[in-house]
Structure 1
């Protein structure tokens, strides 16, 4: 079975955020997993990354730009992500990143990224922009997503930055957004912890909301009292068509997280939905 990875960072400078100080606590939280994935191995190359993808059956990887210039002074440029996608069109699918705090400048930059650079979605890490998911400044971008018919990835759940608030990731704000933009395709990732039930309720209400099992070890979904049990329950039944897996590499090893999805108590057809088919639906991809 082939797989689509809904979120990874290849080992090239252009795909890394140059300013990482606001994310330093992530290095503590994910230290063990990052060591296993080779995050700090400066000798790793794109060929090594592609070999990891091949060993896990990954045929496409979504890579994402980010813009946090007004808050933390960093940016992964749309032009650089687009260049990687052009160089490896059979490997990468690119999402644009813009800073909603920049107002109409961000809207114009996003439109250029889609129409001219060929990027295929929008990536919003609202905790890094220090904005609620339903902030009026982001509404300009949601409207543009609908106009361009591209999806948006939105960080939900807790963040581990000690320079931002977890409240920026509350899933209930997605309900207000989707009531105002019922045509908007959204993937909420990571999957909302500690507000997992809140996220599931919003997804059940809105057919255009997918949930990304990203930056969390899939095996934890089956652990008693982890807080993720309802995600496994609903993700195997009424929401089985709207769960999308991503490795978050180099935060976690690619093959290990794929194996952990396949080890969950899910029917084989549901596993394949999580690992590929739902991503194809969200991304408007023909089968790959």
Structure 2
């Protein structure tokens, strides 16, 4: 079986309409999104997961109201997961710029709505990973015993800063919150070695192989090669697969994982077992 850690269903509640800050993403991922178009209707999307043998899919809310006036609401994500059944696992999205309101919304999203993690795309909040406005949310995640997904890589929204996602900032957070369960995704480019170092230092940090074509892990000079070396050895139990649909076709990303020289054991860890453990399924 396979777990897809990152996917955005092709439904209006999850759509990018109004997310003007992501226009550059449409250019960067244009070829991959075009390749994913056959799955753009919801029936085709579900059929693709059936065909691939995907047991669980993570879908994530986002609250960017104070910075970009846009959100994928916790209520919509919770309703979707409830309607679609146990295959879909919802992560909450709250806005750290809202202070204690965000903390209360996270509590409500988990305890009342039934969401099972927190999604923080820090660059969209114009905040660094280690900004103190994040800290009450990190503490709340530990209290609620839920994992957090943290954007830890380059971003292509030129209205905000790239350095907000630097892995060294996550290292500081993990020193302060060693109990926090984090999946850092995408996997650190152009600071891949630094993210590997953070994960090696902190056993509660996983690396999400999300929003990058897996084939680049074995392309010389791509910058992603260290993920292949460390991901099949000392960090083999810390790599988590996500298609990032619609940034890439579901079947193609799975096929590219299976084409990597990682062996059956590591392939199973990357595609299923690591996510199962991280999500406590």
- TM-score, length of structure 2 as denominator length: 0.98
Contact preservation (8 Å) 1:64, 1:123: yes
Deviation at 1:95, TM superposition (A): 0.0
What's the C-alpha RMSD, in Å, of the aligned pairs?
1.0
Q: How far apart, in 2, do the equivalents of 1:239 and 1:251 lie?
A: 25
Query: What SS does the corresponding residue of 1:164 show, helix, strand or coil?
Result: coil
Select which of 141, 146, 149 maps to 1:150. Answer: 146
Residue in structure 2 matched with residue 125 of structure 1 by the alignment: 121
Matched, 1:259 2:258: no
Deviation at 1:172, TM superposition (A): 0.5
Query: What SS does the corresponding residue of 1:70 show, helix, strand or coil?
Result: coil
Residue in structure 2 matched with residue 209 of structure 1 by the alignment: 205
Residue in structure 2 matched with residue 62 of structure 1 by the alignment: 58
Contact preservation (8 Å) 1:189, 1:211: yes
Q: How far apart, in 2, do the equivalents of 1:120 and 1:144 lie?
A: 13
- Which string of whole-angstrom CA distances, capped at 9 and with x for unpartnered residues, describes residues 94-116 of structure 1? 00000000000000000000000
Q: Give the length in aligned residue pairs.
A: 281
Residue in structure 1 matched with residue 109 of structure 2 by the alignment: 113
Contact preservation (8 Å) 1:17, 1:76: no
Residue in structure 2 matched with residue 171 of structure 1 by the alignment: 167
- Which string of whole-angstrom CA distances, capped at 9 and with x for unpartnered residues, describes residues 205-264 of structure 1? 000000000000000001001111111100000000000000000110000000000000
Q: How far apart, in 1, do the equivalents of 2:146 and 2:19 lie?
A: 28
Deviation at 1:267, TM superposition (A): 1.2
Select which of 72, 77, 80 maps to 1:76. Answer: 72
Q: How far apart, in 1, do the equivalents of 2:234 and 2:7 lie?
A: 27
Residue in structure 1 matched with residue 234 of structure 2 by the alignment: 238
> Mapping of 1:30-69 within 5 angstroms?
30-38=29-37, 44-69=40-65
> Mapping of 1:183-198 within 5 angstroms?
183-198=179-194
Deviation at 1:57, TM superposition (A): 1.8
Q: How far apart, in 2, do the equivalents of 1:107 and 1:207 lie?
A: 25
Q: How far apart, in 2, do the equivalents of 1:90 and 1:251 lie?
A: 24
> Mapping of 1:9-20 within 5 angstroms?
9-20=8-19
Select which of 262, 265, 268 maps to 1:269. Answer: 265
Q: How far apart, in 1, do the equivalents of 2:18 and 2:244 lie?
A: 18
Query: What SS does the corresponding residue of 2:136 show, helix, strand or coil?
Result: helix
Contact preservation (8 Å) 1:9, 1:63: yes
Q: How far apart, in 2, do the equivalents of 1:105 and 1:18 lie?
A: 25
Q: How far apart, in 2, do the equivalents of 1:71 and 1:95 lie?
A: 20
Q: How far apart, in 1, do the equivalents of 2:214 and 2:16 lie?
A: 25
Q: How far apart, in 1, do the equivalents of 2:62 and 2:143 lie?
A: 21
Contact preservation (8 Å) 1:186, 1:210: yes
Query: What SS does the corresponding residue of 2:3 show, helix, strand or coil?
Result: strand
- TM-score, length of structure 1 as denominator length: 0.96
Residue in structure 1 matched with residue 136 of structure 2 by the alignment: 140
- Which string of whole-angstrom CA distances, capped at 9 and with x for unpartnered residues, describes residues 119-161 of structure 1? 0000000010000001111000000000000000000110011
